[in-house]
Chains A and B, each alone.
Chain A
Amino acid sequence: MKVLVTGVAGTLGRLVAMRLVERGHDVIGIDRRPWPNAPESIEMYEHDIRKRTAEDVFRTRRPQAAIHMATVTHLVHKSPDRMRVNLYGTRAFIQHCHKYGVKQAIFVGRHTYYGAAADSPLYHTEDEPPMSAHTFPELADLVAADLYASSALWRYPEIATCVLRIVYTLGPSKHGTLGSYLKGSTVPVVMGFDPLIHFIHEEDAAEAIVTALSRKLHGVYNVSGPSPVPISAIVRAVGGRPFPVPATLVRLGLRRLALPNLPPAAIDHLKYPIVVDSDAFKRATDYQHRYDERETIDAFRAAR
């Protein structure tokens, strides 16, 4: 099958692309970032998904399936065009899929969609609305992109659309929201709060995306790996030291306190858990993660 992958140069994008190649698919990659030394079997296009040149790839290459991973993560990037990348990029992706006869579209979203709050339940199910987009404007565009992608389910019923809300990825790449947060030897945490963090090995996350593709999954699904672990235990397990900072100080001095790009509302994500229920995904695909909580953290820790 001919599969187009946007955001292919990212950590997860690469893992997904390699897996697809291994399974005998023809992979077409689009990313505005380069992928140096990309395997030759992958057809790389250095384009921005929102630009005409990217549309040309859809038009000329006519993929049967497409995976959208060209969204900007909320905690490490703060450029003014993120909202445009996330929303207009998703819109362009869905419309190209429609216009050029893509049969299957997968939007790779994040579990932070549900938001973190004092009263949010553990184990969110897919039908729950995003509760804290208003308190976290930096996250709102991702929430909107997620909902926009879901709208393709009724807007273009001929496309098998799948929205995946994947928990934080962790692994040897050391990339990703959680990975970047855990990098220092001293990791700031909010004093008196110790939320459960839901994470998955990046290989397992890539496998989940490929599984969604091979099962022609249709609908919105949470994806998670092992059961969640409190933030302090994770920090210690990766060999770091949790450094408790009172919430008021975090709010006042976020920029200075070792969390350079964290918007103020991100503090809720260090206070309250976002834990998802992925039973629906497992039931629909028989997917099972390979790395447990210890192995995932060890893989992150061992990598240099």
Chain B
Amino acid sequence: MRSGSAGPAASDCVLGALHIQIEAPSGAEATLLDKLLPIDPEVAARIDSLDLSFNKFGFDPYGISKKDLVRFMSVFSWFYRHYFKVDVYGLENLPPRGRGILVGNHSGGVAIDGAMVMGSMLLDAEPPRLPHSMIDRFIHQFAGASQFMSRTGQFTGNPDQAIRLLRDDRLLLVFPEGARGTAKLAKDADTLVTFGTGFMRLALETKSPIIPFGFVGGGEALPTVANLKALGRLLGVPYVPVTKWGLLVPKPTRFQLLYGKPMVFEGSGHERDDVCGAMVEEVKEKIRDLIRQGRQLREKKITEADLVL
């Protein structure tokens, strides 16, 4: 191999050593990856039908890669359908096209809920849609995570980015509780902490409907008993969750995911805080209600027929 420019012999050795370590598998990349991660044709067909336009290299204007999306979702669909099981209600409430903001509750240490929402949108919804999550800044600072998130359209939450995506008629996924939400311990999984108001201002400014959802079961999949904040600071994350069994491995769990009717609010996005706050409270109340119904479904106290979404 040749390095990009001539360097001293010593560094060439370093490069050479690295080269063997890092590049060895890449020669067989296509075949090995295909064998390890087979493409699910059904998933591929669904990704194909997404309302996205790809350039000559297979990337949409935001860098979403069809190939990477298919590969990842093929693997993820097994987790979505078999390792976990997600009972999804109210898919008919999702806009088949056009802008919208999915707003829901966070729980369970890490954002399993986000992944399941993503799964339901891509694997269950008709037509499938790709939501763009507004994720915490720290995620893009990690190698691998940054690359993965970039290729699947998951960006750091930023008002400029959010408004642009909405004006482009994309779907956003927002957890207004942020990291405070995932930090809820298992015993508080079905409660809600403070909601940010950013999503409401975005919705008002871009005239986007809000689709509230409630997610139940996060606290059972990853029952967190403590959050290590100091260790988190050291690692550059908000906290490190500790589960009942120590490890951060979710157990196979059945989840309930309930999408409520779209909520449309009138305004400019520049309302006073108390005005905006009252609208946020309305959404929060709806989500609380969806969680309550999800919990009752989970405990088989009601049936699907009793749901008021």
Could you say which residues of chain B place their CB within 8 Å of the CB of A257?
3, 7, 11, 14-15
Q: Determine whether A15 belongs to the interface, using a CB cutoff of 8 Å to chain B.
A: no
Task: Give Cα A293 to B54, complex, Å.
Answer: 12
Task: Give Cα A121 to B144, complex, Å.
Answer: 19
Query: What are the interface flags for A104-122 relative to B under an 8 Å C-beta threshold, 1 for contact and 0 otherwise?
Result: 0000000000000011111
Assess the A118–B144 pair: CB atoms within 8 A.
no
Could you say which residues of chain B place their CB within 8 Å of the CB of A178?
none
In A198-255, the 8 Å CB interface with B consists of 226-230, 233, 237, 241, 243-247, 249, 253
Task: Give Cα A272 to B149, complex, Å.
Answer: 12
Chain A: minimal CB distance from B127 (Å): 23
Assess the A192–B160 pair: CB atoms within 8 A.
no
Given the known inter-chain contacts A119-B158, A186-B2, A229-B57, please indicate yes or no for A192 contacting B146, CB distance below 8 A.
yes
A196's partner among B2, B140, B150 (CB-CB below 8 A) is: B150
Q: Determine whether A123 belongs to the interface, using a CB cutoff of 8 Å to chain B.
A: yes
**B140 closest partner in A (C-beta):** A118
Assess the A186–B3 pair: CB atoms within 8 A.
yes
Q: Determine whether B24 belongs to the interface, using a CB cutoff of 8 Å to chain A.
A: no
Could you say which residues of chain B place their CB within 8 Å of the CB of A233?
57-59
Q: Determine whether B36 belongs to the interface, using a CB cutoff of 8 Å to chain A.
A: no
Assess the B11–A253 pair: CB atoms within 8 A.
yes
Given the known inter-chain contacts A192-B147, A230-B151, please indicate yes or no for A122 contacting B14, CB distance below 8 A.
no
Q: Determine whether A256 belongs to the interface, using a CB cutoff of 8 Å to chain B.
A: yes
Assess the A184–B3 pair: CB atoms within 8 A.
yes
Chain B: minimal CB distance from A21 (Å): 33
Could you say which residues of chain B place their CB within 8 Å of the CB of A226?
55
Task: Give Cα A196 to B58, complex, Å.
Answer: 13
Could you say which residues of chain B place their CB within 8 Å of the CB of A188?
3-4
Given the known inter-chain contacts A119-B156, A122-B164, A190-B143, please indicate yes or no for A273 contacting B56, CB distance below 8 A.
no
Could you say which residues of chain A place their CB within 8 Å of the CB of B15?
243, 257-258
Assess the A294–B57 pair: CB atoms within 8 A.
yes
Task: Give Cα A185 to B158, complex, Å.
Answer: 37
Task: Give Cα A193 to B147, complex, Å.
Answer: 5
Given the known inter-chain contacts A196-B63, A258-B5, A293-B55, please indicate yes or no for A243 contacting B22, CB distance below 8 A.
yes
Assess the A256–B7 pair: CB atoms within 8 A.
yes
Assess the A186–B1 pair: CB atoms within 8 A.
yes
B14's partner among A121, A230, A253 (CB-CB below 8 A) is: A253
Given the known inter-chain contacts A121-B160, A186-B4, please indicate yes or no for A227 contacting B61, CB distance below 8 A.
yes
Assess the A227–B4 pair: CB atoms within 8 A.
no
Chain A: minimal CB distance from B202 (Å): 13
**A195 closest partner in B (C-beta):** B150
Interface size on A, residues (CB 8 A): 49
Assess the A230–B59 pair: CB atoms within 8 A.
yes
Given the known inter-chain contacts A186-B1, A244-B22, please indicate yes or no for A118 contacting B14, CB distance below 8 A.
no
Task: Give Cα A125 to B158, complex, Å.
Answer: 14
Assess the A260–B156 pair: CB atoms within 8 A.
no
Q: Determine whether B42 belongs to the interface, using a CB cutoff of 8 Å to chain A.
A: no
Given the known inter-chain contacts A122-B155, A273-B63, please indicate yes or no for A193 contacting B137, CB distance below 8 A.
no
**A227 closest partner in B (C-beta):** B61
Assess the A193–B143 pair: CB atoms within 8 A.
yes
**A242 closest partner in B (C-beta):** B26
Task: Give Cα A215 to B62, complex, Å.
Answer: 30
Assess the B57–A184 pair: CB atoms within 8 A.
no
Chain B: minimal CB distance from A113 (Å): 16
Q: Determine whether A72 belongs to the interface, using a CB cutoff of 8 Å to chain B.
A: no
Given the known inter-chain contacts A293-B57, A294-B57, please indicate yes or no for A185 contacting B2, CB distance below 8 A.
yes
Assess the B5–A229 pair: CB atoms within 8 A.
no
Q: Determine whether B194 belongs to the interface, using a CB cutoff of 8 Å to chain A.
A: no
Q: Determine whether A292 belongs to the interface, using a CB cutoff of 8 Å to chain B.
A: yes
Could you say which residues of chain A place their CB within 8 Å of the CB of B11?
253, 256-257
Assess the A118–B137 pair: CB atoms within 8 A.
yes
Given the known inter-chain contacts A183-B4, A186-B2, A258-B15, please indicate yes or no for A119 contacting B137, CB distance below 8 A.
yes
Given the known inter-chain contacts A184-B5, A191-B22, A257-B11, please indicate yes or no for A230 contacting B150, CB distance below 8 A.
yes
Assess the A192–B142 pair: CB atoms within 8 A.
yes
Q: Determine whether A187 belongs to the interface, using a CB cutoff of 8 Å to chain B.
A: yes
A243's partner among B23, B57, B60, B138 (CB-CB below 8 A) is: B23
Q: Determine whether B145 belongs to the interface, using a CB cutoff of 8 Å to chain A.
A: yes
In A157-207, the 8 Å CB interface with B consists of 181, 183-188, 190-196
Cβ contacts A to B, 10 pairs, < 8 Å: A121-B155, A122-B155, A181-B4, A184-B2, A188-B3, A192-B145, A233-B57, A245-B22, A272-B146, A277-B164
User: Footprint of A on B, CB under 8 Å?
Assistant: 1-5, 7-8, 10-11, 14-15, 18-19, 22-23, 55-63, 65, 137-138, 140-147, 150-151, 155-156, 158, 160-161, 164
Question: Knowing that A186-B3, A258-B15, A293-B55 are A-B contacts, what are 13 other residue pairs whose CB atoms are under 8 Å apart, sorted by A's residue number?
Answer: A119-B158, A121-B161, A128-B160, A191-B22, A192-B146, A193-B146, A196-B59, A226-B55, A227-B60, A229-B57, A256-B7, A277-B164, A293-B56
* 4 closest cross-chain pairs (CB), A and B: A192-B143, A184-B4, A258-B4, A256-B11
User: Footprint of B on A, CB under 8 Å?
Assistant: 118-123, 125, 128, 181, 183-188, 190-196, 226-230, 233, 237, 241, 243-247, 249, 253, 256-260, 271-273, 277, 292-294
